[in-house]
Amino acid sequence: MPELPEVEALRESLVERLVGDRFRRVVVRERRLRRPIDRRALQRLVGAAVCGVERRAKYLRIRTDAGRSLVVHLGMSGRLVSTDDGAAEAHEHVTWTLASGRMLRYRDPRRFGLVYVVSDRTIERHPDFASLGVEPLDATFDAHHLHACAAGRRGPVKSFLMDQRVVVGVGNIYASEVLFRARVSPRRRVDTIGPARWARIADATRAVLAAAIDAGGTTIRDYVGGRGAEGRFQHELAVYGRADAPCVACGHPVRRSVMAGRATYACGRCQR
């Protein structure tokens, strides 16, 4: 479900709700996520104050003054929402109560997500974080970086863009959107891409992700922000989910295909 813009929008909405507050109680109803939840580790964060809410790739990191961070990954169907009160709904696997009385709720029907605690001292060496690529909104992300990462590879550029070891945060929706904006076919092999296309891909990646963050992310089905609000970028999608509809640039029908088992959308006329 959530790609970088959704997690970043979530981060922004949770910062003001969480920082300065303190975990008072935690209830784990279902521990079987992608990896089992460590109840005791979550329990040991009770009493700790939240001192920051950060994002790395698609991971949300809630820092505490205990020198440990609560890490949340939303998988496909996860939600993390801050409320003033209310009862647990279906598939709400973890509920935190904070000193302010506010609640933080993790809900994830498909259970592809993650909730765990990691020491700030070792988080960079954690297997989830150790091999992550560059942040697409950092200055080090550019055409040169993409070109260098592509050396020795020959697969399609869409899979390459979604490879979190190359650049983080681009998932299935934004991969199609970025390549449309860059006018590059998702099936184009990376060993046939020259400097001009890499530059367009880097520029389009930044532009699409930034616009999606501004719009509060994309809500296709499950995603909501930290206050339960849907994103608005679904209204700005150029190709994703628009099979057979006219291309916004040339009017040619948008084509849906399947790559690596994932729905892929492109304009066969605009993208080469």
Partner DNA sequence: CTTCGATCCTGAAGGC
Partner DNA sequence: TGCCTTCAGGATCGAA
Q: How many residues bind DNA (CB under 7 A)?
A: 45
Active-site annotation, residues: 2-3, 58, 262
Q: Which residues contact 40 (CB under 8 A, 6 or more apart)?
A: none
Choose, by CB under 7 A, the member of 22, 44, 102, 111 that binds DNA: 111
In contact, 243 and 255? CB cutoff 8 Å = yes
Measured CA to CA, the distance from residue 95 to residue 63 in angstroms comes to 17
Kindly state whether residue 152 participates in binding DNA, applying the rule CB under 7 A. yes
- In the complex with DNA, which residue's Cβ is closer, 48 or 161? 161
Kindly state whether residue 34 participates in binding DNA, applying the rule CB under 7 A. yes
Kindly state whether residue 215 participates in binding DNA, applying the rule CB under 7 A. no
Kindly state whether residue 154 participates in binding DNA, applying the rule CB under 7 A. yes
Kindly state whether residue 62 participates in binding DNA, applying the rule CB under 7 A. no
- Could you tell me how far CA 214 lies from the centroid of its own chain? 14
- 3-state class of 22 per DSSP? strand
Kindly state whether residue 91 participates in binding DNA, applying the rule CB under 7 A. yes
Minimum CB–partner distance for residue 109 and DNA (Å): 4
Q: Cite the beta strand spans of 84-136 per DSSP E.
A: 92-98, 103-107, 114-119
Kindly state whether residue 212 participates in binding DNA, applying the rule CB under 7 A. no
Tokens of 217: 């992310």
The residue whose two tokens read 């001009």 is 196
What is the gyration radius of the CA atoms in the chain, in angstroms?
20
- In the complex with DNA, which residue's Cβ is closer, 98 or 167? 167
Minimum CB–partner distance for residue 142 and DNA (Å): 20
Q: Which residues contact 225 (CB under 8 A, 6 or more apart)?
A: 9, 10, 13, 216, 217, 231
In contact, 25 and 105? CB cutoff 8 Å = no
Write each residue from 121 to 150 as x if it is in contact with DNA (CB under 7 A), else as -, in one continuous string. ------xx----------------------
From the list 17-25, 134-142, 151-159, 245-253, the region that binds DNA by CB under 7 A is 151-159
Kindly state whether residue 186 participates in binding DNA, applying the rule CB under 7 A. no
The residue whose two tokens read 């020198």 is 67
In contact, 69 and 61? CB cutoff 8 Å = yes
Kindly state whether residue 180 participates in binding DNA, applying the rule CB under 7 A. no
DSSP label at residue 255: E
From the list 94-102, 197-205, 216-224, 246-254, the region that binds DNA by CB under 7 A is 216-224
Kindly list the residues in this chain that would bind DNA in the complex (CB under 7 A): 1-3, 6, 32, 34, 57-58, 73, 75-77, 90-91, 109-112, 127-128, 152-156, 159-160, 162, 164, 171-173, 190, 217-223, 231, 260-263
